[in-house]
Amino acid sequence: MNKVLYIQASARGERSASINVADAFLASYKESHPADEITRYNLWEANLPEFDRAASNGKYAVMSGADIPDADKEAWRRVLATIEHFKSFDKYVFSVPMWNFGIPYKLKQYLDVIIQPGQTFNFEDGQYIGLVTGKPAFVAFARGGEYQGDASGMDFQKPYFELALGFIGFTNVQSLTIEPTLMGGPDVAKAKTNDVIENAKILAANF
Ligand SMILES: Cc1cc2nc3c(=O)[nH]c(=O)nc-3n(C[C@H](O)[C@H](O)[C@H](O)COP(=O)(O)O)c2cc1C
């Protein structure tokens, strides 16, 4: 039995294009993997730890091999608990909207919390080594405009998110992108969503 973590970075629930795709992916996945357990993790309801001064003190203490100051231990404990939760799964599914050319701030906050030395990456012999290995990920990206050709340079959503996953060790990342969800009008968005959902169902069977 594999445990799948489904991380939702869109705040829009059933109106979200990326959630519609990820939901369809998981419905198909469940058909082909009936024994597996899927846990939904909505970043807007998760009460993520702030990566504030106390959490930063914890990170810098770890990086310099120092003890974590007493005043910062509780903040660091919450960071570690969030990382333990993340790492306790076998497979990952993400719904990721584009916000201002990048990713929503809740997802960035989540990355800032879980990407920690000694936990999800190490620095050895002058190189960064990702520690979350051997686990597949599927990402449903959505954006209001289109970012192909000359416009691809404005896309800091997909390249950044895939870079972050790669940095912590993911080598098997599949993704599908729905675009444009806004700029072509509702009919175009619906047609694109339906196309991407069909592809998502196919990918899910072999995930
Ligand atoms: C705060 C915010 C910022 C956005 N910024 C962009 C953007 O920079 N480029 C773009 O193409 N669409 C942008 N959009 C539109 C969303 O990317 C689009 O509605 C997409 O479908 C959102 O994904 P979702 O439907 O899964 O929530 C933005 C939407 C919001 C709410």
Q: Which of 15, 18, 98 to mutate to test the pocket of ligand 1 (most atoms within 8 A of CB)?
A: 98
pLDDT for the residue 122: 95
pTM above 0.95, yes or no: yes
pLDDT tens digits, 134-166: 999 999 999 999 999 999 999 999 999 999 999
Distance 104 CA to ligand 1 centre (A): 9
* Span 101-117, pLDDT tens digits: 999 999 999 999 999 99
* Average predicted confidence (pLDDT) for the chain: 97
How far are the Cα atoms of 45, 64, 91, 139, 147 from residue 173, in angstroms, in the given order?
A: 25, 32, 10, 7, 20
CB-ligand 1 contact for 142 (6 Å cutoff): yes
Best residue among 16, 18, 143 to mutate for probing ligand 1, ranked by most atoms within 8 Å of CB = 143
Read off the pLDDT of residues 18-67 as tens digits, 9 standing for 90 and up.
999 999 999 999 999 999 999 999 999 999 999 999 999 999 999 999 99
Please work out whether the CB of residue 19 comes within 6 Å of at least one atom of ligand 1.
yes
4 contacts: CB under 8 Å, gap ≥ 6: 26, 29, 36, 37, 38, 39, 89, 90, 91, 92, 93
CA of 50 to the centre of ligand 1 (A): 24
Residue 49 in contact with ligand 1 by CB distance below 6 A = no
